[in-house]
Amino acid sequence: MPSDLDDYVETHWIDHDLLRNNEFQSFIIDRAKKLLNAIEQATSRTVSGKDSDEVRQAFGDALT
């Protein structure tokens, strides 16, 4: 069932709507933000540079 697949990919910090709608850039930014958030929670530290010029150039947006 599609809902089962949606639930599965969500466990990997993947937004199934962005994936299905071929919104690749938004998908990459959303997933990067989710992964960085998970890293920050696991380490109890802030990841620096998420809004740097280099990140904005690479992703087209800040990852905050």
Q: What is the pLDDT of residue 4?
A: 87
CA distance 5 to 11: 10
- Type of residue found at 39: I
pLDDT tens digit at each of 64 positions of the chain: 778 888 888 889 999 999 899 999 999 999 999 999 999 999 999 999 999 999 999 999 999 9
CA distance 37 to 34: 5
Classify burial at 63, counting beta carbons within 10 Å of its beta carbon; exposed 0-12, middle 13-18, buried 19 or more: buried
Q: What is the pLDDT of residue 6?
A: 87
pTM for the predicted model, two decimal places: 0.83
